[in-house]
Amino acid sequence: MDNLDLIQFNQACDDFVAGKYILANIKVKALINTINASEKLTDLVSHCLDDFDFDVAFRSSVTSGGLKLPLSDKSKIAYCFNVLYNLDVGTITFLDFLTKYFNSSKLDGGEDFKMFSKTIIAPFKQAINREYAHTYDMTSTEDYQNNLYHKLMNVAKANLENIDEIKLKDIEKEELALLLNAMVEASEKNNKKLIYAIMVGMEYFCKANKRAKDIYLQLKDCFTIN
């Protein structure tokens, strides 16, 4: 398998999320080791770290409700890797990090460990997968494309069935239905160029109609390699 390193990285991320606070340090090291063991992942992360000022990025990410990650995938990767690296080398302990940035009040980490996983690990995994696919052109493989078309079609059909539940004007629902039907048709025909054009249309539609934003996010998530 050409992407065995990515599969192992994803497994390490999933193991972390499914784990317990008491094993956090072990899981962090295991996650970083999957990157260090892969030339592709090491090169990818190194490229993201180039010219990235973690101190500045971290200070600007701190909010009263926790941490707000950078928007771009490359910055997100650099940010999350720095957090994990600092935890791994002991610059800050896991408990201290949770206490300071996730308002942890329990010695076992509890819900704050889950929030850390949601804030750091999940976005890190998604960003790595997107950058890996882009850098090493996994999107050209037959398995990826077949799986992508299937997922997009299912998401589009599911939202068409529930379109009346979205609080939109009738004309807006008609426009959304046109986009979703077009996505179903493009997916059935394995038309990648048309799919990307529809995604652009969906993005603009959902910016103007924020109540439909979740549909765009569902479609966008189909492009993530699990």
Q: What is the pLDDT of residues 179-226, one digit of tens each?
A: 999 999 998 888 888 888 898 888 889 888 888 889 988 998 887 755
The structure's pTM equals: 0.61
Return the exposure string of 120-132: e unless at least 16 CB atoms fall within 10 Å of the residue's CB, then b: bbbbbbbbbbbbb
Contacts of residue 75, defined as CB under 8 A and 6 or more positions apart, other chains included, come to 48, 52, 57
Q: Are residues 147 and 36 in the same domain?
A: no
Q: What is the pLDDT at residue 18? A: 87
Statement to judge: residues 85 and 155 lie in one domain: no
My answer on whether 76 and 132 are in the same domain is: yes
Total number of domains constituting the chain: 2
What is the pLDDT, as a whole number, of residue 142?
61
For residue 24, the model assigns a pLDDT of 85
Asked if 128 and 199 sit in the same domain, the reply is no
Query: Which of 204, 13, 29, 198 is CA-nearest to residue 117?
Result: 13
Which residues of the chain, if any, have pLDDT below 70?
A: 1-2, 104-110, 137-146, 225-226
Report residue 172: phi and psi, to 5°. -70, -35
Domain span holding position 169:
140-221
Per the CB < 8 A criterion, the answer to whether 9 and 128 are in contact is yes
The residue among 100, 93, 98 whose CA lies nearest residue 112 is: 98
